[in-house]
Chains A and B, each alone.
Chain A
C-alpha cells in the first residue's frame, strides 16, 4: 500500500492565477462564451445527420470541457503547433476557429478550412494557423507532433507542439515510439491524454493496467507528468499553463493526463446504453463540467444569472448565423477529385526526358551516385535532413554505407541515427516537414525494405496529406529503401515492396537500375514537393554493370522511361535488378537467334510512362513484362492490363510476365534461384514469346 501524492488544484490554488475568485471577469466571460458556444454546437451536431445534411461522424466532447478550453487557450498560433483529435471541437474553437468553420467542416463544404470537405467530419483543423489536419487513425499524429518539435528545436523557435488525444490511443505502439523519441531527444512537446475512461465501448482497464495511463511513462527520462481534472476549467488551465512553461523553460516534453468523462456515446454510430448502466450515466451527468462552471460563476458572484443568460443568448444567435452561412456555402465539385493528389514535382527538364550523352569522366557505382547526389543536394539546400536506422555511426553510413561521410560533412543535427522504430522514422519526417516548405527530409525508412512494414500506417498517412488538406500541406520527403534480393538474404533481406507500396495514390515511386538514373531521380525527388518512395536495388550498389558516367547536375523527370536497348521484334518492360537481366537476355537472343528486342527501363512506377510503353508496343507487337516482385499482384499485372486495354490491336501475341514465384524468398541459394527471376528464365520466356 502506498501513500499517494495528490496533485490537484488545492495544492496550487493559492498561488495559481487561475481561480474562480481571482481570474478577471473578462477572461471568465471569454471562457464561458467559448464553452457555451462549444456545447451548443456539440448538442446541435447530431441534428445535421438527422436532417441528412451531413456530419455523419460526430464524437461529442461534453465532459472534456475544462481541458479542451485550456489547450486552446494556451495555444499560440504564431509559435505553436496543435494536433487536435476528432473529439477536439472545443479545443479548436478555443484555439480560434469560428462556429462557421466548425459547421463547414461538419457538413463537409468546399470552404471547410481543414480541407474542403475531403476529410471526415469532426476532424477540425486550420493548417494556415498551425492547427493541423490529422488522421482518423487514433494517436497517429503523436509522431507528427514529435517531428515538428524536432524542427522547433533545430530552428530555435520558441513554440511547443501539442498532441491531443484520447487515453485509449496510448495503447498504440507508435504512441510509445513518439514519447520515447521526445524523451530521448528532449523535444518541446505536450502530450495531452484526455481520459474519459473508454475507447469507444472498451473500458480503460481493458487497455492497460494503470488507471491513469500517463503513469505508464513514469520511468521515461526527461519527461514530466502532470495530472489534472479535465472537467475543471481552473485545474485544466493550471495544468496546461504549467506544462507549457515547463517545456519552454526546461526544454523537455510533458504529459498532461486530464481526467474527463464522456457524457454521451462515443459517436453517433455508438449506443452507450448497451454497455453503461443508468447509475454510471447519471453519475457522469452529475459532473457536467459546463454546469459546474456555471454554478461556480453564480455562487462566487462573478456573474448574475441575467448576465449568463445574455451570453447564452448571444451564443445561440452566433450559431444561427453560422448555420445559415454554412448551409449556403458551396459543396465540393466532383470534377475536383484529382486536384491536389500529387504535390508539384520539380521540373527536371535540363536533360529532356532524363537522358544524357556524357562521355566525360569515369563511370561510378550506383552506391556512389546516391551518396554523391545526397551530398550535393545537402549542399544545395541547407534545410535538408536525413535520418534512419544506422545511417550515421562514426565511419559507418548505413548498413551498405550509402550515407558514408555525410554526418562528418553536415553535422549530427542534419544527419543522424534513428531508433529501430520505422513508424517513428517516417512519422517524425512527416511532422518535421510541416515546419517550413523548404525543408526536405530523406529517410532510410528501414534498414532493409523488408523491415518497412511497421511504418505502413505512417506511409498511408503520408500518401493523402496533400489531398486531404486540399493542397495546404505536403510532406516533402524521400523514403529510401534498400530493396530486392540476389544477395542470399532470405525472407527478410530480399523483399521488394513496390507492388504493395505503389498502390496508394499520392506517393511517387521510382526504382532506378543504373547509377545515372539513381542520381537523376534522387535529385528530382529531393527538389520536389510531396513524398517519393526511392527504391534502391541493393544488389546493384557495387555492380559493374550498373556503373555509369554521371553528369554533376543530372536530373531525371518522373514518369519517363528510358530505352536501354532499341529493338523491333519484342518489347521487354522492366525496372530495377531485372533491367540488367533483360538486357543480357536480349543480347543473347540477338546473338543466338538474330532477334531484335527492345528493353524499356521504366525508372518510375508511379507515375508510369504509359505513352512510352504503348509507343514501343505499337512498334514491336509483342510484350514481356519482367520484374523481380511476384508475378501475382505485381506491377506487371497493371502494365499488361493497360496494354490489353489500350494497344490490343497492335499485339501479335498475349502479354507475358516473368517475375518471382508466389512464395517468400528462401535462404538456401537453391531456393532463392528457384524463386527469383534470372536471365535464363527471361531468355526462355522471351524466346517462347518470339515464337508465338
Chain B
C-alpha cells in the first residue's frame, strides 16, 4: 500500500508527531510537504496520513487552507485517509481538534474512506468538529500530554491504520 505522510514541514509540533508516526509505521511512507507539493501528488498513494493542527477558533492552518481548493474537484474513492490532529483541550475546548474534523469531512465528501477512529472518552472538551458517535475521526494529540502518553497513542494508532 503506497503511503504518504502529508503535513507542513514548517510546523513544529505537527512535524514532531509525523516523525514519530513514521518511526512506528511498519511500511514505508513518503513525506509530502503540503506547503509546496503539487495538486496531483495525493492521487499517487493508497493511504494518506494527514497531519493537521487547529488554528484560531476552529480553522485549518493556512497551509491546508491554501492547498484544498487545488484538489476539491478530485475523487478520493478507494483511498484510505488517516488523520492525526494537534489540539489543546484546556485553551480551546470549544473548537477542539476542529482541523481534523474539517479535513475528514473534506475527504469523505470526495469518496475517501476515513480510518483510524479513536475513543474520545478520556478527553475533556465542549465541542469538536472531529467528534462523531463518541469517537474522534483520527488520532487526537494534545499539547498537554506527557511524552510517554503521546508515544503510546502513536504506537497504537499506527497499528490501527497499517
Contacts and interface: CB of A to CB of B under 8 A. Distances in A.
Contacts of B65: 229, 232, 292
B99 to A, nearest CB: 10
Nearest to A300: B70
Contacts of B98: 4, 6
B127 A259 contact: no
Contact of A2 (B56, B58, B66, B131): B131
A296 B127 contact: no
A73 interface: no
A6 B120 CA distance: 19
B148 to A, nearest CB: 25
B66 A259 contact: no
Interface centre among B58, B60, B95, B98 (most CB of A within 10 A): B58
Minimum-distance CB pairs A-B, first 9: A2-B127, A4-B127, A6-B129, A10-B106, A20-B69, A211-B94, A4-B129, A13-B72, A3-B131
User: What range describes how many residues of A lie at the interface?
Assistant: 20 to 34
29 contacts: A1-B123, A1-B128, A1-B131, A2-B126, A3-B129, A4-B58, A4-B127, A4-B128, A4-B131, A6-B102, A6-B105, A6-B129, A8-B59, A8-B60, A9-B69, A10-B102, A10-B106, A13-B69, A20-B70, A210-B94, A211-B94, A212-B57, A234-B69, A259-B57, A259-B59, A287-B55, A287-B56, A292-B62, A299-B70
B132 A229 contact: no
B101 interface: yes
A59 interface: no
A468 B69 CA distance: 46
A208 to B, nearest CB: 12
A14 interface: yes
Nearest to A260: B56
Nearest to B110: A14
A19 B71 CA distance: 12
User: What range describes how many residues of B lie at the interface?
Assistant: 20 to 34
Interface in A1-35: 1-6, 8-11, 13-14, 19-21
Contacts of B131: 1-4
Given A4-B95, A261-B56, 14 more contacts: A1-B120, A1-B131, A3-B128, A4-B127, A6-B105, A8-B60, A10-B72, A14-B73, A21-B70, A212-B94, A232-B65, A259-B56, A299-B66, A299-B70
A211 B128 contact: no
A97 to B, nearest CB: 29
A296 B56 CA distance: 20
Nearest to A8: B102
Interface in A203-255: 210-212, 229, 232, 234
The DSSP consensus for interface residues of chain B is: mixed
Contacts of A4: 58, 95, 98, 101, 127-129, 131
A286 interface: yes
Interface of B: 55-60, 62, 65-66, 68-70, 72-73, 92, 94-95, 98, 101-102, 105-106, 120, 123, 125-129, 131-132
Contacts of A436: none
Interface of A: 1-6, 8-11, 13-14, 19-21, 195, 210-212, 229, 232, 234, 259, 261, 286-287, 292, 295-296, 299-300
Nearest to A284: B56
A606 B56 CA distance: 53
A50 B86 CA distance: 43
Nearest to A232: B65
A254 to B, nearest CB: 19
A344 B13 CA distance: 66
Contacts of A234: 69
A65 to B, nearest CB: 13
Interface centre among A3, A14, A259, A295 (most CB of B within 10 A): A3
B126 A10 contact: no
